Chain A
Amino acid sequence: MDGEPIPASDHVARYVKPSKYVNKVMDWDALLPRPQDNGEASYNWLEYFGNGTPQELIIRLAASLTKLTISKNGVFATFNVGDAISGMLNAQPHIKLQFIHTPEPENESHASMFGLDNLNEAAGKFLKNLCQKFPTMYEM
Chain B
Amino acid sequence: MSVSPVSSTRPDWARLVGESMKQHGVWHTYTKLLEARRQYPDDLALRGYVEIVRNGIVRDFLSHPRGLQAVPKLSADFLSHFDRFNLNAQEGYLVSLIDGRLAVQKLMILSPFDPFTTIFILAKLEHEQAIVVPQ
Q: Do A and B bind?
A: no
Q: Which B residues are within 8 Å of any A CB, using their own CB?
A: none
